[in-house]
Structure 1
Amino acid sequence: MTTIDRRRLLQGTAGIAVTAVLTTSTSTPATASAATVGEPQPLDGRPFPAYDYTRANKLPREMTGYWTKSFDIAGRTRTAKVYISPETPIRSYYTVIAVPDGVDTAEFLHSSRWREIADEREEGLFILEPGPDGWDSAEDETGYVDAAISFYQNNRYFSIFGLHYLVGYARGGPALEAWAVAHPLRVVSQVYIDSPGLSAAYLASYAAREFGGQTDGYLPVEFPKGFDLARYDETPVPTWYINPDLRTVTASLSYWKRANDTVASGARHDTLGTVYRQRRGSDRWMTSHAGPISLVAVQRRPVGSRRIVDFLTAYTRYENFFAYGNQLYERADYERLGIEVHTMMVEGFVREYLTYVPRSARQLWRNKAPVLFVWPGNSQTDKVFLDATQWWKVAEREGFILVVICEQYSNTSVSVSHRDSNTFYRQLRDTITARYDVDTTRLYSTGQSAGSAVTQNLAIAFPEYFAAVASTSFTAAPNTSGTVTIDGVAYPASGRMIPNYQIYGYGDLTFLDGTLWDDVQNSLDSWAQYHLSVNRLALADVDTVAGRRSGFHDRFQSWTWKDHHTGVPVLKLTRNLYRSHNTTAEESPLLWDFLKHYSHEAAADGTVTRFYSPSAFRRRGDRRRL
């Protein structure tokens, strides 16, 4: 069965014709579907699942299957269903589905093949259901949809990626679409089938709302004078209407065409129908890095669930609260790219990690490709972070081997955090260098938040591990005893240099507030003082106190310190003026552009010799010793 070509979809080339269609009606007997899906088990009052340490980065086995959850909405009981496939990982992608009136949900999931697709993709489904009398108006369903999605987004039974694919059928479409209009930063992409759309009045009630500088528990962002705030109706969300009611869907179409900043005239696409693509030169904040990849499409004939999934999953998104760090991206296709997911035993626990060896690795480096080890932030899995950072795209372009670490169960059985990091790295390094054609002089480390803490602490205690490090939103420095703590163990600071780069946000963690030149002494200052000291540099040796500006809306303010003898950059700091704590993929190329110039050789006695190459080792003989 053919699928939509993701690259063609995002690049604007006509796709592949549909070979199978499916309407919302079904002829499959309910008994067959019930036998397949089973009766839903209640989540109401159920104990939270126990830890399942036999499953690396998987939800506990006891939580897989078909579930029901009830809600009291103004004295009326409403329900929603959850389907968790047998191999659903922690923080999986989910598709939120509003089923049509007059169907049995279990039968619908079977006949529409949504359950089969979830199993194949190892993902989950969250299903919104009409009341006893069917779906009410979008406005009247707000209480139910808000309550159901609030539970889905934050519960102790399962965990989610954090941003959602939406699919609304018939009269369930407007109820789900209304939630998307009210929460556009949390919607990756959306499809509505046989939907009448929303009223112009409802859309207008949200359109002009603006995103301010408040963050989700972090420092607020203060915008410069004259800054134009982004509006709700300026948030690109890829949208597809299938067999819509053209008499009533006009307002919705107009709204999403504006939000996606599309061209005025649609073009024919074999699968999607009439497509209105985001215009070239679009200045939307949420596509500032990926470019104009969004669209709105209208297909006048039925389309199968697999085609819907192909459309939805061409996209991913990251940062579900702060608009100016929120970005729409292309989602990694593991099969096409050849991304591998592996496990290994670490200190008695099974751990997951993924590797990506792009074709460019051999093309550029033959049998000596550099390696980047990536440590996700707290609660971030390897799969979440691969898409959130878009490191796979940088690896594809630059030819390095990408290794993304997965964390281990932390404070709940459905979330993760770092543990045994030093042991894990040593084992992983040896495995990667044995399995792949690696340049062992060019091993690098990066990470975000808690993952940045791992990178920065390893750099201080074990600088011989890496040629250079570059990470985001967490700094580290030795304490008053001259040690750093990794996995609860204190290690002495080495006092040896390692090229180091840190990026943080204006609205970041409180201990990263301000700059190195203000009156506040915090973790940012301690990090800089340690690394300046081991490089025999002072704060005043910076290239410019004002910082060099770059990026979309000059969002990056960067300071660089160079070695006195060689003139080589050895320490760099960047403040992203328009983001909160969560990373943005616009930073990944900046981190690599710093890392790629360094190599190191470790002698048997532990002595490390470091080198810098202006060409990033593309030209022979241009490296110089630090």
Structure 2
Amino acid sequence: MTTIDRRQLLRGAAVSAVAAAVAPAALATSAAAAGRGGALGPAGPLDGRPFPEYDYTRANKLPREMTGYWEKTFDVGGVTRTAKAYISPETPIRSYYTVIAVPDGVDTGDFLRRSGWRDVADEREEGLFVLEPGAGGWGDAAAELAYVEAAMGFYESNRYFSIFGEHYLAGYGAGAPALEAWAVAHPLRVIGQVYLDSPGLPADYLGAHAGIEFDGTTAPTYTTVVFPDGFDLIRHDEVVLPTWYVNPGATAAASLAYWKVANDVAGHGERDGTLGTVFRQRHTSGRWMTSHAGPISQVAVRPRPLEHAEPHTTDRVVAFLTRYTRYENFFAYGNQLYERADYKRLGVEVRTMTVEGQLREYLVHVPRSARRIWRGKAPVVFVWPGNSQTDKVFMDAAQWWDVAEREGCVVVIVCEQYSNTSISVSHRDSNAFFRQLRDLMIREYPVDPARFYSTGQSAGSGVTQNFAIAFPAYFAAVASTSFTVAPDAAGTVTLDGVAYPASHRPIPNYQIYGYGDLGFLEGGLWDDIDNRLDGWARYHLAANGLTLADVDTVDGVLDGWHDRYQTWTWHAAGTTVPVLKLTKNNYRSHNTTPEETPLLWDFLRHYSLEPGAGGGVRYYSPSGFRRVDDRVRLEG
């Protein structure tokens, strides 16, 4: 085990302690909300309903016409089945949702009201998707498979509302096995699960899925990952998935055994007054999905029942589930479980401003450590999410808040604007947005304008890399993931539909990409493929007066979990100062993974840009400006 691996495990234990301390506050907050609302009334039909219109008055919110209580029908083998959706009034685009399988014999709207689920959704600004039994009640998991797949297929991809992409699951009574069966078949898409009074799943169903392996297949437009000889593929029963069983039935033993194996828990549980017996992930666990956060997963078993339609019960279910988040729902080797950002505890501000006539949202996180470390001159990282990733999605997906807490940097996450549909977003007016945000940060926050940095993922990396070429004086350094750009034949780059000439001036730059990334990032810099990755390197090497041959080592330096990172570095001529850096993550597809965020920060933190002629004067500090006497001037 490397030093960084041990550090991650220790950090994971600390996260567990923090989450445990936060849970009571979450319970109190949720309980305060319970019982406020009246009856939901009949659900509006989604069948045949026109798709919602754009609503530009609501920055990063689902169109107002889509908030409320809805019903969707499905033809399952000639039988009509239904599911319900509840969208709270302030639900953002790509919000978190809890998928609920209600018990037999209840009216769904009444259950959501009496149990407090509707009030929880309103307070948390989230959504609910509810699976319902057929006319004769819930069948067993196998009988319900076609219905659940049809309902979940609609929920995961429709034109009425959009979702985070990873789900919380809560199953009650006879409805629980059908939901659990879906989780077993699709574990990468589930953040956490709670089952109350469930009989569990049969051992043969669990056994049929346990050994299924995740290969290197990526999305159709991405590059297939080829693993080295002897590589151990991840199995379904090796995907950590926090699980809480409340009053399990006598037949639930196989389910409990399955999830204990999947979560790699310790043999002996610990008593908890709410959860029952808690089996925590082993501190020496080697599970891929917690390689960054450390062993934070768990399986809890409470032998005593909890009343289903009781807000107190819902509070506890919500507290267990929302301790966690995860990202990457397709490619197993980039999928990660980690702690969800608590905006109230962290002091995250959700703000809006008008940009080019459009109301836009953004997040500002000023960690308490900023003042202690930087004494009123904190560095700022401007974060540009990937296409369709809102500021709130990227807050959790990239875990920049966690880096900020440790390092004292201020994080500003940009939210995109409506794009090809009324429930999705993409980048627009980025240049104008940044200029306004830059001025606001200088005017309203205790920051150091000489240490403004830019980062982003995918399309957000495209924004960052365009800035680096056209406007290198905006930032002291840039570091981004999974999208590179270079000037076109006319010597320009295009941002917001406007062509800007390349400056041909150097700026410290770091790019991370995946083996299974976008097609134009396939391969590396020393192969026969000439693509955007090569064009990016050629431009920035030339701007620094370097060539490809000036690299530290052609083979790259291996590091990280299972040596997943292969890194090449170029230094300013005659110095040890890195000015261009490239890392290939050999075990991920296109989507971001939070383990890369500290790597980006560790590059950015060493640079500053003081005002001066010709775009300013850059400095490099080996200590990241923790010492006042170690900075050196960069030429050019």
Same fold (TM over 0.5): yes
Give runs of aligned pairs for residues 15-54 of structure 1, distance below 5 A. 36-54=39-57
User: Distance between the aligned counterparts of 2:69 and 2:181, measured in 1?
Assistant: 26
AA aligned opposite 1:228: D
- In the other structure, the counterpart of 1:293 is 296
Contact 1:9 1:15 in 2 (8 A): no
- In the other structure, the counterpart of 1:481 is 490
The answer to whether structure 1 residue 385 and structure 2 residue 388 are counterparts is: no
The answer to whether structure 1 residue 593 and structure 2 residue 602 are counterparts is: yes
Give runs of aligned pairs for residues 265-304 of structure 1, distance below 5 A. 265-303=268-306, 304=313
The answer to whether structure 1 residue 441 and structure 2 residue 450 are counterparts is: yes
- 2:372 alignment partner, SS class: helix
The answer to whether structure 1 residue 615 and structure 2 residue 623 are counterparts is: yes
Contact 2:23 2:323 in 1 (8 A): no
User: Distance between the aligned counterparts of 1:11 and 1:601, measured in 2?
Assistant: 40
Deviations 1:141-164 (A, max 9, x none): 000000000000000000000000
**2:224 aligns with one of 216, 220, 223:** 220
User: Distance between the aligned counterparts of 1:548 and 1:97, measured in 2?
Assistant: 47
User: Distance between the aligned counterparts of 1:293 and 1:8, measured in 2?
Assistant: 6
- In the other structure, the counterpart of 1:239 is 243
- 1:332 alignment partner, SS class: coil
Deviations 1:383-437 (A, max 9, x none): 0001000110001000000000000000000000000000000001101111110
- In the other structure, the counterpart of 2:559 is 550
Deviations 1:439-489 (A, max 9, x none): 010000000000000000011000000000000000011001000000000
Contact 2:97 2:128 in 1 (8 A): yes
**2:505 aligns with one of 486, 496, 502:** 496
- In the other structure, the counterpart of 2:264 is 261
User: Distance between the aligned counterparts of 2:328 and 2:26, measured in 1?
Assistant: 33
- 1:591 alignment partner, SS class: helix
- 2:506 alignment partner, SS class: coil
- 2:73 alignment partner, SS class: strand
**2:64 aligns with one of 61, 64, 81:** 61
User: Distance between the aligned counterparts of 1:405 and 1:18, measured in 2?
Assistant: 27
- 1:36 alignment partner, SS class: coil
Per-residue deviation, 1:299: 1.2
Contact 1:503 1:575 in 2 (8 A): yes
Change (3 A) 1:525 1:17: closer
AA aligned opposite 1:616: G
AA aligned opposite 1:187: V
Change (3 A) 1:124 1:429: same
Contact 1:8 1:15 in 2 (8 A): no
User: Distance between the aligned counterparts of 1:331 and 1:13, measured in 2?
Assistant: 14
**1:85 aligns with one of 88, 103, 106:** 88
**2:526 aligns with one of 490, 513, 517:** 517
User: Distance between the aligned counterparts of 2:78 and 2:91, measured in 1?
Assistant: 34
- 1:160 alignment partner, SS class: coil
Change (3 A) 1:482 1:16: closer
Give runs of aligned pairs for residues 530-549 of structure 1, distance below 5 A. 530-549=539-558
The answer to whether structure 1 residue 72 and structure 2 residue 72 are counterparts is: no
Per-residue deviation, 1:300: 2.1
Contact 2:39 2:110 in 1 (8 A): no
Contact 1:315 1:330 in 2 (8 A): yes
Per-residue deviation, 1:566: 2.9
**1:181 aligns with one of 180, 184, 208:** 184
- 1:426 alignment partner, SS class: helix
Give runs of aligned pairs for residues 572-583 of structure 1, distance below 5 A. 572-583=581-592
Deviations 1:145-199 (A, max 9, x none): 0000000000000000000000000000000000000000000000001111000
The answer to whether structure 1 residue 426 and structure 2 residue 435 are counterparts is: yes
> Normalising by the residue count of structure 2, what TM-score does the alignment of the two structures yield?
0.94
The answer to whether structure 1 residue 454 and structure 2 residue 463 are counterparts is: yes
AA aligned opposite 1:90: I
- Of residues 360-369 and 8-17 in structure 1, the stretch that sits farther from structure 2 once superposed is 8-17
- 2:143 alignment partner, SS class: coil
Contact 2:27 2:319 in 1 (8 A): no
State the superposition RMSD in angstroms. 1.8
Change (3 A) 1:379 1:617: same
Per-residue deviation, 1:567: 2.6
> Normalising by the residue count of structure 1, what TM-score does the alignment of the two structures yield?
0.95
The answer to whether structure 1 residue 135 and structure 2 residue 146 are counterparts is: no
Per-residue deviation, 1:37: 1.1
Change (3 A) 1:265 1:15: farther
Q: Identity over the aligned pairs, expressed in percent?
A: 69
Contact 2:16 2:296 in 1 (8 A): no
- 1:172 alignment partner, SS class: helix
- In the other structure, the counterpart of 1:25 is none
Per-residue deviation, 1:9: 5.8
The answer to whether structure 1 residue 624 and structure 2 residue 628 are counterparts is: no
Contact 1:11 1:293 in 2 (8 A): no
Per-residue deviation, 1:302: 3.7
Contact 2:493 2:502 in 1 (8 A): yes
The answer to whether structure 1 residue 569 and structure 2 residue 578 are counterparts is: yes
The answer to whether structure 1 residue 333 and structure 2 residue 342 are counterparts is: yes
Per-residue deviation, 1:204: 0.3
Give runs of aligned pairs for residues 116-195 of structure 1, distance below 5 A. 116-195=119-198
Deviations 1:202-248 (A, max 9, x none): 10010000000001221100000000001000000000011111x11
**2:324 aligns with one of 302, 315, 320:** 315
User: Distance between the aligned counterparts of 1:483 and 1:13, measured in 2?
Assistant: 52
Per-residue deviation, 1:607: 3.0
Contact 1:102 1:134 in 2 (8 A): yes
Deviations 1:483-530 (A, max 9, x none): 000000000000100000000000000000000000110000000000
- In the other structure, the counterpart of 1:110 is 113
Per-residue deviation, 1:12: 7.1
Per-residue deviation, 1:8: 5.0
Aligned residues: 610
Contact 2:482 2:511 in 1 (8 A): yes
Deviations 1:560-609 (A, max 9, x none): 00011333100000000000000100000000000000001123x55321
- 2:500 alignment partner, SS class: strand
- 1:524 alignment partner, SS class: helix
User: Distance between the aligned counterparts of 1:498 and 1:39, measured in 2?
Assistant: 59
User: Distance between the aligned counterparts of 1:232 and 1:13, measured in 2?
Assistant: 31
AA aligned opposite 1:186: R
Contact 1:14 1:269 in 2 (8 A): no
- 2:259 alignment partner, SS class: helix
Instruction: Flag structure 2 segments of 5+ consecutive residues without an equivalent.
Output: 1-13, 307-312
Deviations 1:79-137 (A, max 9, x none): 00000000000000000000000000010000000001000000000000000000000
User: Distance between the aligned counterparts of 2:604 and 2:318, measured in 1?
Assistant: 37
User: Distance between the aligned counterparts of 2:65 and 2:167, measured in 1?
Assistant: 24
Contact 2:23 2:319 in 1 (8 A): no
User: Distance between the aligned counterparts of 2:21 and 2:482, measured in 1?
Assistant: 38
AA aligned opposite 1:161: F
- In the other structure, the counterpart of 2:10 is none
User: Distance between the aligned counterparts of 2:40 and 2:577, measured in 1?
Assistant: 62
User: Distance between the aligned counterparts of 1:431 and 1:95, measured in 2?
Assistant: 36
User: Distance between the aligned counterparts of 2:345 and 2:25, measured in 1?
Assistant: 20
AA aligned opposite 1:596: R
AA aligned opposite 2:314: S
- Of residues 456-465 and 267-276 in structure 1, the stretch that sits farther from structure 2 once superposed is 267-276
- Of residues 559-568 and 465-474 in structure 1, the stretch that sits farther from structure 2 once superposed is 559-568
Change (3 A) 1:296 1:505: same
User: Distance between the aligned counterparts of 1:409 and 1:309, measured in 2?
Assistant: 30
- In the other structure, the counterpart of 1:366 is 375
- 1:358 alignment partner, SS class: coil
The answer to whether structure 1 residue 211 and structure 2 residue 191 are counterparts is: no
- 1:96 alignment partner, SS class: strand
